[in-house]
Structure 1
Amino acid sequence: MNPLIALPILIPLFSGALSLVFWRFRGMQRFIAVGGTAALLLSGIWLLDAVSEQGILVSQMGGWPAPFGISLVADLLGAIMVLLTGIIGFAVAIYSLASIGRGHVAFGYFPLMHLLLAGVAGAFLTGDIFNLYVWFEVMLVASFALLILGSEKAQMEGAIKYVTLNLMSSVIFLIAVGLLYGKVGTLNMADIAQRLALLEGDGMVDVLAMMFMVAFGIKAAAFPLFFWLPASYHTPPVAVSALFAGLLTKVGVYALYRVFTLIFHHSPGYTHEILLWGAGLTMLSGVLGAAAQFEFRRILSFHIVSQIGYMILGLALFTPLAIVGGVFYIMHHIIVKTNLFLISGIVHRLRGTYDLKKLGGIYRRYPWLAVLFLIPALSLAGIPPLSGFFAKFIVIRAAIEAEAYGVTFIALLVGLLTLYSMIKIWAEAFWKTSPEDGDSDPYPEVSHRELWLVGAPVVALAVCTLVIGFNAEPIYALAEASADQLLSPERYIEAVLGANSEVQP
């Protein structure tokens, strides 16, 4: 038992509560935001190191033994996701110091940010299926509140679509949890996995697998119910967009990986066949949507959808190499996509618009920003030797080895169309002559302090992308070890239940 597993959840909860105490002191809220997310990052580093050294860590809340109490479980995938949550939270907190105005702070931006991070960390660490639902709802409440900060018309319209589809997902999830509990009499995921193994061939198990697939597929913005994402992610302040882009859909992807490698690992192959088709259609529909857009953040939002397809593809193929590729892809994408949204915010601050047709000339005035854009943009497209190349290479190689040639062709085509979208942004926003070049100075005044605050997280995330790309071997080894744990569910079950196991697998 290791109670320190709860730290990544307790730190943002405490930081959020402390921010509420200092509600009238905006400077203190900003200080707490940076300090709290830095502490979350350090706890993520500690957790990953501890899991790498000691194996799967388990903490039983309240001293109740599993499966009777609530278990917190940290395996390698959970620890990786918590570390990435800390990285993104810290980067966005620093970016927010310059990009979030007093009005948004007055409406509770920083407490809501901490609450969202707590929900994300809780989802990654819970070993209880009902508590996974609870943490999903914590995220939904916090994200909806962040989405409507400012109450502009576009925000409200996007928020309605966002909350409607996500509430539908939550209803399906809750019904599935209730039916599952009625079937096996437990909510502990390790215990559920053991008990469901005894019900192989039961049609109700197949129905439950489909319900969880639909619920988490909506959360992950997979085809066909993904349109809530491009309708909403371009509307809030860019720091909120970046936080959402990096973390929210990945919780849905994580949940798919968790339930289909642990709870339903014995399910018939047709569930993975459905996931395979869903992955291909998600990739294709997302990238085609992006190719048709000329608004910076809408392009990036559609590309979140297309890239989710690669992650689901790794799970759908369900081979050791494919799972490695899926985990690697998640790590790469969280860093890259957050960075691209942060860069779009800097472009907006410099030029006052996200419309590519009204942009241009940024390369001549701010060449450093153009270079910083190229690093994550080319990585997203899969250009070697950046992180996205290795992520795509592993997943596509796994698809070829599995003889899934149709989805392999789609994955390669989507890579080319992603490159087209990134080149379009580069050509329109950075390279072409500005439509306002006739003006004396079309650029608004931006202080050096503000540029440093918004530029530092972008530089740090770009460095992370380069490190993953140029140092891919240890990252691959980490993903491989994580995949090995995911494909050996008995290790998770033994770590959680130990001698208290009532049903042998």
Structure 2
Amino acid sequence: MTLWTVETLVPLPVMLPLFAAGLTLALHRFANVQRIISVAALAASTAASVALMFAADSGPLVVDVGDWAAPVGIDLVADRLSAVMLTVSGVMLLCVLLYSLGQGVPEGEDEDAVQSRVGDRIPVAIFHPTYLVLAAGVANAFLSGDLFNLYVGFEIMLAASSVLLTLGGTAERIRAGSVYVIVTLLSSLLFLTAIALIYAATGTVNLAQLSLRLPDVDPTVQLALQLLLLLAFGIKAAVFPLSAWLPDSYPTAPAPVTAVFAGLLTKVGVYLMLRMQTLLFPHNDLVDQILMVVALLTMLIGILGAVAQSDVKRLLSFTLVSHIGFMVFGIALASEAGTAAAIFYVVHHISVQTALFLVVGLVEYRGGSTSLDRLGGLAKLAPGLAVLFFVPALNLAGIPPLSGFLGKVGLLTEGVRDGSGLAWALVVGSVATSLLTLYAIVKAWNKAFWQAPPPEIEPHVPLPRGMVLPAGALVGFGLLLTVVAGPLYGYAERAAEASMDGRSYVEAVFPDGAERGRGESVEVAVEGGGHG
């Protein structure tokens, strides 16, 4: 009997953070031990994700949890799409963790002075176990091959993120956390309702089996189930008009928490929309048209909100909403090329948006504020910080030849090829959004870095190296995506092809054949329904 196979790696991105979370909770009195355990667990989890990314390029890897085969048991499935999401999220989570560890008091500085600039710092004893639980929940969502297990991942993320959002217990954070919890609970309730209806219609919640049974369900029932899932995931992804909660919730949290939320949590919703639209509901022109309208409104309303902001955190929060529209654009095109461009853009946006929020944390540390009216002169006072902001900001705006430009070119090219009126509207909207993003970024740059510094900004404030290095590493990772854009885009194309086809996913879960996956027909308990 073989004790180790490549499939052994599949559950590690979930198990390692969960195990480490238990250890850090038990050792809450030993802050240094907590730090070592957290960094080691996320580093090992990221290494496992990288290995899975290469291994999954040869075909999906499946682990039957508890050794119960599908559809009875729960499956964890690492295919190209989930593996690339695991890898980029692992790098991001590790860099943000290292950044949070660096939020100490630099040598020679007074702690009260630092406190006055950046507010309350993260309570370490609470932060580490909660952060690790969040990492496990995200990994579980990416790997889950079962709708109910996916719901469990949702709830893990909700519990952890609500704690992280309210760290420090200030009135502003409690208010923002309350709004976030209510909105996320609504999303979870819609998702749970959808799961119940799907099980009633098909007799299963296994994704591979659903892909075989859903085509036999009445088209009207299919449409209702599809829209309900998209509504639940759309709230998580913060698409318009379900995004009003985000700009008020994210900027109140500490910089590392805001970076994780902005860079990653919304992309879980996008990933789930991608998975559902390719594996479960691959062809529905009406839904694709609805998604195109949603994508266009998300882009334009989000970026108009960004242009109107005078606080850099809120500005970036609105650009986050806006650029979710690019990803939904790729999903709505419902083609291999569109899906590949969406996958590439998701990977790009996770790294760039996270890096920007970390750099803004440094801006707040150096300037004592994130209000553009209270900043200035940072290009002269902290030139290294200016570079760290400038590079990912240009990448976000899509300046060539950076990865943001390459992702947008892929989307625009496929939109032109589609040729429909809505696709052309999205092409025009995408160009307008990119130009307005550049305008918003230039405005922030001019006010924070070029204009004369206000008198309250101290001329000599050293930046903690422990914060600068992880932020710089993530900025460098964004540049690396540009350097390896060719192979990465090729990987995204193969991921899109496999996701749109779905056969390799089903065959991996049911190696004995699709007929076993299809199982006995199940009467659909809906008037006009077919058979599963």
- Which TM-score applies when normalising by structure 1? 0.95
Partner of 2:522: none
**CA deviation profile, 1:389-443 (whole Å, cap 9, x unmatched):** 001111111111111111111111000000011101110111111022xx7x714
Partner of 1:186: 204
Secondary structure of 1:487's counterpart equals helix
Question: In 1, Cα distance between the equivalents of 2:337 and 2:153?
Answer: 30
Q: Superposed, which structure 2 residues align to 1:423-502 within 5 Å?
A: 423-436=442-455, 442-443=458-459, 445-446=461-462, 450=464, 452-499=465-512, 501-502=516-517
Q: Which has the higher contact order (CA 8 A, sep 6+)?
A: 2
Report the residue type matching 1:34 in the other structure.
Answer: V
| Gap change, CA 1:104 and 1:371, over 3 Å in 2 | closer
Q: Superposed, which structure 2 residues align to 1:195-210 within 5 Å?
A: 195-199=213-217, 201-210=218-227
**CA deviation profile, 1:453-504 (whole Å, cap 9, x unmatched):** 1111122122222222233211111111111111111221111112162428
Question: In 1, Cα distance between the equivalents of 2:34 and 2:366?
Answer: 26
- Any conservation in 1 of the 2:31–2:125 contact (CA below 8 Å)? no
The reply to whether residue 94 of structure 1 matches residue 92 of structure 2 is: no
Report the residue type matching 2:247 in the other structure.
Answer: P
Partner of 1:74: 78
The reply to whether residue 83 of structure 1 matches residue 102 of structure 2 is: no
Report the residue type matching 1:254 in the other structure.
Answer: Y
Report the residue type matching 1:503 in the other structure.
Answer: R
| Gap change, CA 1:4 and 1:465, over 3 Å in 2 | closer
Partner of 2:424: 405
Identify the match of residue 241 of structure 2 among 195, 199, 224. Answer: 224
Question: In 2, Cα distance between the equivalents of 1:202 and 1:418?
Answer: 40
- Any conservation in 2 of the 1:161–1:232 contact (CA below 8 Å)? yes
Q: Superposed, which structure 2 residues align to 1:354-433 within 5 Å?
A: 354-403=370-419, 404-433=423-452
Instruction: Give the gaps of 5 or more residues in structure 1.
Output: none
Report the residue type matching 1:479 in the other structure.
Answer: A
- Any conservation in 1 of the 2:375–2:447 contact (CA below 8 Å)? yes
Partner of 2:108: none
Matched residue count: 496
Report the residue type matching 2:428 in the other structure.
Answer: F
Moved more, 34-43 or 250-259: 34-43
- Any conservation in 1 of the 2:212–2:518 contact (CA below 8 Å)? yes
1:55 to partner: Cα distance = 1.0
Partner of 1:171: 189
Report the residue type matching 1:39 in the other structure.
Answer: A
Question: In 2, Cα distance between the equivalents of 1:252 and 1:329?
Answer: 14
Question: In 1, Cα distance between the equivalents of 2:518 and 2:69?
Answer: 15
Secondary structure of 2:252's counterpart equals coil
Question: In 2, Cα distance between the equivalents of 1:470 and 1:74?
Answer: 25
1:252 to partner: Cα distance = 0.2
Partner of 1:40: 45
Secondary structure of 1:104's counterpart equals coil
Report the residue type matching 1:309 in the other structure.
Answer: G
Report the residue type matching 2:196 in the other structure.
Answer: G
Question: In 2, Cα distance between the equivalents of 1:357 and 1:347?
Answer: 13
Identify the match of residue 154 of structure 2 among 122, 136, 141. Answer: 136
The reply to whether residue 290 of structure 1 matches residue 306 of structure 2 is: yes
Question: In 1, Cα distance between the equivalents of 2:394 and 2:146?
Answer: 39
Question: In 2, Cα distance between the equivalents of 1:33 and 1:444?
Answer: 33
Report the residue type matching 1:422 in the other structure.
Answer: I
1:202 to partner: Cα distance = 3.1
Partner of 1:246: 263
| Gap change, CA 1:73 and 1:355, over 3 Å in 2 | same
- Any conservation in 1 of the 2:103–2:121 contact (CA below 8 Å)? no
Question: In 1, Cα distance between the equivalents of 2:346 and 2:428?
Answer: 21
Moved more, 40-49 or 207-216: 40-49
**CA deviation profile, 1:82-104 (whole Å, cap 9, x unmatched):** 11111011101110112279963
| Gap change, CA 1:19 and 1:107, over 3 Å in 2 | closer
Question: In 2, Cα distance between the equivalents of 1:193 and 1:319?
Answer: 18
Moved more, 97-106 or 396-405: 97-106
- Any conservation in 1 of the 2:20–2:129 contact (CA below 8 Å)? yes
- Any conservation in 2 of the 1:322–1:395 contact (CA below 8 Å)? yes
- Any conservation in 2 of the 1:41–1:87 contact (CA below 8 Å)? yes
Identify the match of residue 30 of structure 1 among 27, 35, 45. Answer: 35
Q: Which runs of 4+ in 1 moved over 4 A?
A: 100-103
Question: In 2, Cα distance between the equivalents of 1:352 and 1:265?
Answer: 49
Moved more, 357-366 or 102-111: 102-111
Report the residue type matching 2:53 in the other structure.
Answer: L
Question: In 2, Cα distance between the equivalents of 1:104 and 1:442?
Answer: 24
Question: In 1, Cα distance between the equivalents of 2:357 and 2:375?
Answer: 16
1:60 to partner: Cα distance = 0.6
| Gap change, CA 1:502 and 1:470, over 3 Å in 2 | closer
Partner of 1:15: 20
**CA deviation profile, 1:109-157 (whole Å, cap 9, x unmatched):** 1111000000000000010011111101100110000000111121122
Secondary structure of 1:108's counterpart equals helix
Question: In 2, Cα distance between the equivalents of 1:39 and 1:307?
Answer: 31
Partner of 1:124: 142
